[in-house]
Structure 1
Amino acid sequence: MIYTVTFNPSLDYVVGLDKFIPGTVNRAASEHIYPGGKGINVSVMLSHLGYESRILGFSAGFTGRSLQDMLKYHGCPPDFIEVKEGQTRINVKLNAGEETEINGQGPTITGQDMEKLYQKLDILQRGDWLVLAGSIPGSVPRDVYERIIERLYKKGVHCIVDAEKELLMDVLKYKPFLIKPNHHELEEMFGKELKTQEEIIRHARLLQEMGAVNVLVSMDAEGAVLATGSGEIYQRNAPKGRVVNSVGAGDSMVAGFLAGYLQTGDYEKALELGVAAGSATAFTSWLAKKEEIYALPAKEMTPA
């Protein structure tokens, strides 16, 4: 079974404008509301690719109820913990030629709420998959990803982590199956600019020396590089297309990679499906559907 955890779920209010002028009344040319949060995006994309997952996280207030209804509509019924204080956040994403985001605060998650999450995670068994993705709210311990993976380390659960800097670095000693920094995050981790693919590969290898089994580095329009635990390096260029939306592209890559690996057991084919899923999402207004992913040119990629 695949499980995803999203500490900061949201309703994403996506507004398109012909132009945005601060300090004036701006009228939307288009508007959509989507379920948001990196783990949620992974689960929805997995559903699009034919894989069931269980969405764990926290919900609060009327916005939380709306989020749960939306996820059920998309075929991903969540298993959220109801939080008493605050409400699930609303993130506003403005697109007027360039993207601007205003992210809400989210509810207060207490120690009791965290214990309920740990109890849900304790049922995971050998061979299960856990995806930890995204930021964490201020009310949650900063080492929460480390605490979770430590609890599951000896149980043989395959962990995938997509998070920034310390959240990611702190889990490496528990040998996560896959980590997915983008190239900017990779630069932040090591405090240096990485100008060439060779430098990116070298620093991906350093993350493996710290414990990561597989390292997938996303590079926007340049595609992605994968350093595998068995020693191979694979690189895949992104298909060409008009970028409509960058939100969820990295999460789609994670879901596509996992789906491809479960389907074939082959790292190279998993990378191809991951890059195709990320690119297809970037070319659409939200998370791409299966037919949009497989419509992109990809070497030796066939639907499940």
Structure 2
Amino acid sequence: MIYTVTLNPSIDCIVNVDNLIYGSTNRAVSQSFHFGGKGINVSAVLSQLGIKSVALGFIAGFTGDAIKSGISDNNITPDFIKLKNGCSRINIKISSSKETEINAPGQAPNTEELKTLMQKISLINDGDTLVLAGSVPKMMDYNIYAEILRTVSDKNIRTVVDASKTLLTNTLKYRPFLVKPNKQELSEIFNVEINDNSEIEKYALKLRNTGAQNVLVSLGKDGAILVDEYGNIHTQGIVEGKTKFTVGAGDSMVAGFLAGYEKTADYKYALDLASACGIATAFSDTLAKEEDINSILNKLQKR
């Protein structure tokens, strides 16, 4: 079973504005609502690929209730902890000439609520997969992902970390199966400016040598680079199409990679499916759908 953890889930309100003017009243062309957070996004794309998962994390208030009911389907089992105080956050995503995001801070759990989550995670079995993805609520300890991995370190569990800066680097001593920084996050981890693929490969290898087993770097319009557990470097580009909105594209890649590796244990295929999922999301108004994923995967493998 795959378990995804979203400590800071959200309702994302996506508004499309032809030409955003700051300091003025803007009229949206359209709006849509999506139940998200990086771990939830991974579960949603896994569902499109026919893979079941359990969504763990925290929800709060009426917005939390909406998130729980909104993500439930035959392949996703929500198993959130309902916080006593506050509400789950609402984020604003503005699609215009440039993408603009306003992300709310979220509601942090108290000591007992965090303990309850740890107890749930401690029951995960050998052979399962645990995905830790996204930000944490303000005032929450940035060592939390490392603490979660320590909780399951005595088990044979495949772990994935998709987070920025210290949230990710603190986990490396527990040798996560996969980490997925983007180019900017990779630059921030090593406090350097990365200009080309050779430098991406250099620092991805360094991240692998620091503890990660596999490093998948998402590059947006430039595709993706994977450094696998053996030190082999795999690359994948993109296909022609119109990018509509990139929110969730990286999460989609994580889902595709896990699905591809679970199916074949082949890193090249896992990268192909990861790329297809990421592209399908970027070309869509929502997270990737099965039909679009398969179409793009076919195009990538024919090149």
Aligned amino acid, residue 213 of structure 2: V
Residue identity opposite 1:22 in structure 2: Y
Q: Counterpart in 2 of 1:234? A: 234
Aligned partner of 1:144 in structure 2 is: 144
**What is the alpha-carbon root mean square deviation over aligned residues?**
1.4
Query: In structure 1, the residue corresponding to 2:137 is in which secondary structure?
Result: coil
2:198 counterpart of 1:187 = no
1:290 positional shift: 0.8
Deviation by residue 1:264-290 (Cα, 9 ceiling, x = unmatched): 110000000001100110000110101
TM-score (norm 1): 0.96
Q: Secondary structure in 2 aligned to 1:298?
A: helix
Write out aligned runs for 1:140-289 (5 A).
Answer: 140-289=140-289
The equivalent residue for 2:82 is: 82
SS for the counterpart of 1:271 is helix
**How many residue pairs were aligned?**
301
Q: Which sections of structure 1, spanning at least 5 residues, go unmatched?
A: none
Q: What CA deviation, in whole Å up to 9, does each residue of 1:81-120 have, x standing for no partner?
A: 0101110101111112211111222223111110010011
Identity in percent = 46
Q: Structure 2: which 5+ residue stretches go unaligned?
A: none
Partners in 2 of 1:198 and 1:168 — Cα distance? 22
TM-score if structure 2 supplies the norm length?
0.96
Partner Cα separation in structure 2 for residue 98 and residue 195 of structure 1? 22
Whole-angstrom CA distance in 1 between matches of 2:101 and 2:231? 39
Q: d(CA) in 1 for partners of 2:124 and 2:34?
A: 29
**66-75 or 178-187, which deviates more:** 66-75
1:21 offset after TM fit, Å?
2.2
**8 Å CA contact 2:131, 2:160 repeated in 1:** yes
Shifted more, 267-276 versus 65-74: the winner is 65-74
How far, CA to CA, are the matches of 2:74 and 2:292 in structure 1?
A: 17
Residue 187 of structure 1, CA deviation:
0.9
- CA offsets 1:1-53 (integer angstroms, 9 cap, x no match): 10000011000111111222233322221110010100000000000111000
Match of 1:72 in 2: 72
Which stretch of structure 1 is more off in the superposition, 277-286 or 97-106? 97-106
Structure 2 letter corresponding to 1:34:
H
Letter matched to residue 276 of structure 2: A
- Aligned CA distance change for structure 1 residues 300 and 202 (closer, same or farther; 3 Å): same
1:47·1:76 contact (CA, 8 Å) conserved in 2? Answer: yes
How far apart in 1 are the matches of 2:66 and 2:75? Answer: 14
1:17-36 correspondence runs (5 A): 17-36=17-36
Q: What do residues 166-194 of structure 1 show as CA deviations (whole Å, max 9, x unaligned)?
A: 11111111110000011111111111112
